[in-house]
Amino acid sequence: MAFDIEMIKKVYSNFSSRIEAARKIVGRPLTLSEKILYTHLWDGNAKTAFIRGTDYVDFAPDRVAMQDATAQMALLQFMQAGRPQVAVPSTVHCDHLITAKSGAEIDLPHANTESKEVFDFLASVSNKYGIGFWKPGAGIIHQVVLENYAFPGGMMIGTDSHTVNAGGLGMVAIGVGGADACDVMAGLPWELKFPKLIGVKLTGKLNGWASAKDVILKVAGILTVKGGTGAIVEYFGDGAENLSCTGKGTICNMGAEIGATTSTFGYDKSMERYLRATNRADVADAANNIAEHLTGDAEVYANPENYFDQLIEINLDELEPYLNGPFTPDLATPISQMKAAAEANGWPLKVEWGLIGSCTNSSYEDLSRAASIAKQAIDKGLGIKAEFGINPGSEQVRYTANRDGLLGTFEDLNATIFTNACGPCIGMWDRTGAEKAEKNTIVHSFNRNFAKRADGNPNTFAFVTSPEIVAAIAIAGDLGFNPLTDTLTNNRGEQVKLDPPVGDELPLNGYAVEDAGFQAPAEDGSGVQVLVSPTSHRLQLLDPFPAWEGTDLKGLKLLIKAKGKCTTDHISMAGPWLKFRGHLDNISNNMLIGAVNFFNDKTDDVKNALTGEYGPVPATQRDYKAQGLGSIVVGDENYGEGSSREHAAMEPRHLGVRAVLVKSFARIHETNLKKQGMLALTFADKEDYDKIQEDDIIDIHGLSTFEPNVPLQVDLHHADGSKDIIVVNHSYNAQQIEWFRAGGALNIIRKEAALKAAGL
């Protein structure tokens, strides 16, 4: 039986009436995305037709999911909200704080010792507030959610950008910062700008070496890392119905890499099969009863150009495997062109590591297809020329794959089986030799490949591809190897060719597991004590941020003018810094250390306006804070792309940065800045970015009359006595302006809770 089945049935009971109300208001057939959005309005039935990309709308998500790195800050904030229990079903998943090094048998016990304080905190706070807790080793959050909680037509938010993975089971699942999660867990509406819609029509059927991963790798090449910003990507067509449920999850998962709000598929037989295979026949039965509402209206898919803001068509019959990278997940190269591209660009052809796993590709189907390649290699007398690592997606997947011999096949090919956790995908990889910073190539089935992402080495050229292509290239040890056409020399000196992968959508003998790793919360958590040591270097209770002082901001120092790509990895690195995710002051020592300074092309090296000397970004900002001086960060396009981590907004706020001014923002990061009481501003004229000089003193005018759709003025006082006045835009609505004035959204929640407790 499914978790929260009564909640799911309640959601479904309102579907028909709410969709009918929405159709009448909108006056036309509805896409699946619109159906889910309109059925989850905070106020119930639709009373107005919302304008895509313009209207802010309050929604009522069905559930919240948090991983251990982001859950710390989300729950530290929730503890300040004054609520006795979460208002919606919520879960915590311990998957980020486990370093991959020697293999699961050694790495997991080490993590349980190293991060015991954090795991104990998360377990106790979950127990107190009615939150389901998944222990270390239980699996990667998004695979566990797909196996246990996702349901067609539902709406979920999660404190991880790859929450979107649940679109593989027909959800609208959206990555957010911890403050948003705190709102929903506190029983408040969740605000989102009504998304635009991108339709992707899939025809045909995958064959040969092509996989679901190649669909999103191709889409990423088309849309780029910002092409999906502010939009939901909805997949449809006979090609969509030919994909497995976990394959759909893979496609939705990497929608985060194109900036999409989320991605989703309509309910179909593959989803029903997956629900039944994962012991959720009750959900499948309930979904079947309203199946017509769990996909877009027929008229939409018959004439998609009339219903979507953008339309893409992909014929799966013709789809070729892709490798995307290096250093960005949207640089898409068909495998037939990779050798030439690598040689032309100087990418190292020798592959050092092949890695399979992550929330994107760690299902049973993924492992079975990759294992079929590994078995061929063994049977055909081939060894492996790159090191090989596997991260199963969950304990259920690991146990079942081990029972069916898949893991044994990998081990016969000398692979290391890491813990059921994120590991190298999010920088938790203790890779021997990475500290030498040597130029090298790795291939992996992950989702992101920014510089330093996997191993901390800026010279690791990482390429994203499918698990089966990872296996083939790891066997060949050559980035230019094309298994569709090329042969390899076996141990008998023969030329042999790998056959296309085969695998099982679902385990033929069903899933099995002894201990999935779930810990249910106490029925009554009122007596549970959550203790945080005042001397801890891992956890720190939060103090409220100060409210806006009521005046324009004047005399701001320029902390850094970031050049080029500046992701949340650049603003707040992961890897070894993950251990400080629950201690705001300590983790703030990584603030913007990966951003490139426009004025010297160096990282973590900015001019201190007080001393005239160059030094680390966090230390410079701490100097400003000590003197009571505010500062501003200037950035380029799509600032804050990548992970949902709100630390990238909280660290500048904590250290005294007052505003971030950029050419454009990634959606989640812009929202996170607003939630924390920061000013998130964009150049009205992007060429004004060039007017920012290193020694500028900056004023921001118009805050006393701060209102929606009214630009602000920024004065740039240059060191030579000259001055530039520029116009900057913002996307704040009335409620978000109140967040700014209050010093952050949590301050408003805290005040409301105090008034309620006092009976006022």
| Residues known to be catalytic | 95-96, 160, 448, 643, 645
> Of 484, 477, 268, nearest to 382 (Cα)?
477
Cβ atoms of 173 and 156 closer than 8 Å = yes
> Residues 165, 588, 625, 558: is their CA dihedral positive or negative?
negative
How far apart CA 565 and CA 459 sit, in angstroms, is: 16
Residue entry with tokens 């810990």 = 519
- Please name the helix (run of DSSP H) or strand (run of DSSP E) that holds residue 442, with its range, or none: strand 440-444
**Taking the CA of residue 171 as centre, how many other CA atoms within 13 Å lie in the half-sphere pointing to its CB?**
31
Residue entry with tokens 């302006």 = 737
- Please name the helix (run of DSSP H) or strand (run of DSSP E) that holds residue 701, with its range, or none: strand 697-701
Helix, strand, or coil (residue 682)? strand
Length of the chain counted residue by residue? 760
The set of residues, in sequence order, having a beta carbon less than 8 Å from that of 591 and lying 6+ positions away, is: 571, 572, 617, 618, 621, 651, 652, 655
Q: Which two tokens stand for residue 689?
A: 């970015």
Residue entry with tokens 């530039």 = 724
How far apart CA 45 and CA 16 sit, in angstroms, is: 11
> Of 659, 650, 750, nearest to 72 (Cα)?
650
Q: Which two tokens stand for residue 545?
A: 């941020």
How far apart CA 734 and CA 52 sit, in angstroms, is: 18
- The DSSP call for residue 651 is H
How far apart CA 637 and CA 686 sit, in angstroms, is: 9
- The DSSP call for residue 220 is H
How far apart CA 213 and CA 543 sit, in angstroms, is: 43
Q: What is the largest CA-CA distance in the chain?
A: 84
How far apart CA 384 and CA 352 sit, in angstroms, is: 11
- Please name the helix (run of DSSP H) or strand (run of DSSP E) that holds residue 143, with its range, or none: helix 141-148
Cβ atoms of 93 and 518 closer than 8 Å = no
Long-range CB contacts for residues 587-591, cutoff 8 Å, separation at least 24? 587/647, 587/651, 588/618, 588/651, 588/654, 588/655, 589/618, 590/618, 590/651, 591/617, 591/618, 591/621, 591/651, 591/652, 591/655
How far apart CA 285 and CA 564 sit, in angstroms, is: 50
Cβ atoms of 309 and 197 closer than 8 Å = yes
How far apart CA 147 and CA 42 sit, in angstroms, is: 27
> Of 752, 756, 739, nearest to 179 (Cα)?
739
Cβ atoms of 176 and 287 closer than 8 Å = no
Helix, strand, coil percent content, the chain, rounded in steps of 5: 40, 20, 40
Cβ atoms of 618 and 588 closer than 8 Å = yes
**Neighbouring C-beta atoms of residue 435, cutoff 10 Å:** 10
How far apart CA 667 and CA 671 sit, in angstroms, is: 6
Helix, strand, or coil (residue 139)? strand
Per DSSP, what are the bridge partners of residue 323? Answer: 333
